[in-house]
Every structure is written in C-alpha cells, then in structure tokens.
Amino acid sequence: EPEVTQTPSHQVTQMGQEVILRCVPISNHLYFYWYRQILGQKVEFLVSFYNNEISEKSEIFDDQFSVERPDGSNFTLKIRSTKLEDSAMYFCASSDRVENIQYFGAGTRLSVL
Amino acid sequence: AQSVTQPDIHITVSEGASLELRCNYSYGATPYLFWYVQSPGQGLQLLLKYFSGDTLVQGIKGFEAEFKRSQSSFNLRKPSVHWSDAAEYFCAVAPGGGSQGNLIFGKGTKLSVKP
C-alpha cells in the first residue's frame, strides 16, 4: 500500500537554527498538508498546498515557516529560526482530492534545545 | 469557533470488553468526520470516515462509528477489544463539507487494554 514517508524521524537542533523537514507524499496525490502536535496537545493544522502554492494556512504558520515542493516527489517544511516552542511532532499528509481522505506519515519529532 | 471534543483522555478496558470512544464537534453544517488511530512510533492511520448517507459507518479492524446529528456526535465503537487495539485515537472534522482542506482534531483518547 502506498504511504507517506517523512525524514528524519527525529531532528534535534539548537534554538535559532534553520531546519528542513522532508516528506514524500503518495505519488498520484495533488494536495499536501503539514500538521504539528506539541507534546500532550492536539494535532494542529499548519498549511495546505496545491498546484505549487499555499491554499490555506493557520495562524501558527507565520513568516518563520515556509513550504516548498522542490521537485516532483518531495514536499518540505522549513523553519527559518527555530524557537523552543517549535518542539513538536510534525506530520505530513497528502490526498488526491481536497475533499478526500488525508494519508499521514509517521511524523518527524523536532526537538529544539 | 469550530472545535472537536474528546472528553476522555485515557480509557482502560479489559480484552474482550466492548469499547466506546466519544467525540463531539461544534460546527454549523454537517462536516466530514473521521477517526484516526496512532500506535506508538506510527503515523495517523484512518479507521473510518463519514461523508454522508448511512449514519452508521464501518471501518477497519472491526471498528464502527455512528453519526448523530442531533447530538453533534460521532462516537467510535468496537464490540470486543483486542490487546493490539491499545493506541491513541483521534476524532477529526473537515469543515466546509471537505471543501476546506484542513482537518480539525480532538485531543485524542489513549486506550489501554488489560489482559
């Protein structure tokens, strides 16, 4: 069964550093998403991406965050200057239609020290 | 504001017992409704979904859920729990009938299974 792949599984970084979280969505999917889950809290929507542009973003997704689809397979989330409060599990998801099921990756645990 | 409430943070049931996990949503129209499960170290796996039609939906692993519009609820049930069902369960809503892509999640219910 096709799956969403995220790398790395765990990323440790120093406060103020830039990080890039990588995702390989399911190959025929057109809609891509990032969510995050701070420890002990709910999964929160960050951003959705379609046709090479952001289609929606939450108030969490400020200027420190950016997304990119640099080639036909990868979908990345960049945090420009990490803060302690960015420590969380980040999930990538993809779907073939906006109203269809979102398939999630296993997540990247980001630890900001 | 749109929200999803899972009132039970942690539930423990005996293996073989029945299970019901509660989910309530706050949204004007009928949204798309989902239950996801997350095992340790794994991603979110879809158990079942409700878009329209029959209010009792069947999912994988023997789970089912019933949409009750009058109660704004979408509770997850399983008649007989297996030890492998121990995981965290998330209810999620896609507002706007799915035309708006983002999912809104509840805080999750952690299920422990006693032998």
Among partner residues A42, A44, A48, which is closest to B101 by beta-carbon distance?
Answer: A48
Question: For residue B15, which amino acid is it?
Answer: E
Question: B99, A99: Cβ pair inside 8 Å?
Answer: yes
Whether the pLDDT of residue A99 is over 80: the answer is: no
Higher pLDDT, A88 or B28: A88
- Ranges A11-20, A77-86, B44-53: which has the least confidence: B44-53
Give residue B98's pLDDT. 55
Higher pLDDT, B99 or A24: A24
Which whole number is the average pLDDT over A9-16? 96
Give the residue from chain A lying closest to B50, CA to CA: A101
Give residue A11's pLDDT. 96
Convert the pLDDT of each residue in A61-87 to its tens digit.
999 999 999 887 899 999 999 999 999
Question: For residue B42, which amino acid is it?
Answer: Q
Whether the pLDDT of residue B28 is over 80: the answer is: no
Residues B104/B106/B110/B113 CA torsion (nearest 10 deg): -90
Which residues in chain B have their CB less than 8 angstroms from residue A107's CB? 43
Whether the pLDDT of residue A7 is over 90: the answer is: yes
Whether the pLDDT of residue B76 is over 80: the answer is: yes
Give residue B85's pLDDT. 96
With a CB-CB cutoff of 8 Å, which residues 47-76 of chain B face chain A? 49, 51
Q: B interface mutation test: which of A31, A98, A103 has the most B CBs within 10 A?
A: A98
B54's CB contacts (< 8 A; 6+ apart) are: none
Higher pLDDT, B32 or A110: A110
Convert the pLDDT of each residue in A19-56 to its tens digit.
999 999 999 898 999 999 998 888 999 999 998 999 98
- Ranges A11-15, B35-39, B94-98: which has the least confidence: B94-98
A112's CB contacts (< 8 A; 6+ apart) are: A13, A14, A15, A82, A83, A84, A85, A86, A87
Cis status, amide bond into A8, omega within 30 of 0: yes
Centre a 10 Å sphere on the Cβ of residue B12 and count the other Cβ atoms it contains: 11
Q: Is A48's Cβ below 8 Å from some Cβ in B?
A: yes
With a CB-CB cutoff of 8 Å, which residues 95-114 of chain B face chain A? 97-108
- Average per-residue pLDDT for chain B: 90
Question: A44, B105: Cβ pair inside 8 Å?
Answer: yes
Band (B86; pLDDT cuts 50, 70, 90): very high
Question: Distance (Å, rounded) from C-alpha A32 to C-alpha A92?
Answer: 7
Our CA-based measurement puts residue B34 at a distance from the nearest CA of chain A, in whole angstroms, of 9
Whether the pLDDT of residue B99 is over 80: the answer is: no
Which residues in chain B have their CB less than 8 angstroms from residue A33's CB? 101-103
Burial of B29 (0-12, 13-18, 19+ CB in 10 A): exposed
